[in-house]
Amino acid sequence: MFCVFVLLQEKPRTNPRETCIACQKTVYPLERLVADQHIYHKICFRCVHCNTKLSLGNYASLHNNVYCKPHFSQLFKAKGNYDEGFGHRPHKELKCHCLTVSPSTIQHSILCIIFYL
């Protein structure tokens, strides 16, 4: 009596279809680009301000938008506020949780320090 064992190969598992964050179409492996944990077609990876084609070496991102480095600097760094224009409250308007101290308390503290020395 002979036993025959047949090994069945599992089909390779394919990833579910990946879609481009810019155009919402299927991205195939040869045209796939990943930046900031988002998937793009190479041709869809463009500055949202000027539509210049970007690469992984010449882009900057903020709030899930990608920019060419010149426009990123022009739009955000010059103002010193990365939140302006994105529906976020500017830092200067955020409530400060700092301890407020009256001048008399400061004078008292200085006198205590001087006396201690």
Q: Regarding predicted confidence, which is higher, 109 or 55? A: 55
CB proximity list for 34: less than 8 A, separation 6 or greater: 40
pLDDT at 19: 97
5-31: pLDDT as tens digits: 555 665 555 557 899 999 999 999 999
HSE of 79 in the Cβ direction (CA atoms, 13 Å)?
13
- How far apart CA 36 and CA 38 sit, in angstroms, is 5
Domains of the chain and any CATH numbers: 29-114 (2.10.110.10)
**Confidence check: pLDDT of 103 > 60:** no
Instruction: Provide the pairing of β-strand 32-35 with 59-62.
Output: unpaired
Nearest-5° Cα angle at 55, 51 to 60: 75
* pTM as predicted: 0.55
- How far apart CA 40 and CA 28 sit, in angstroms, is 10
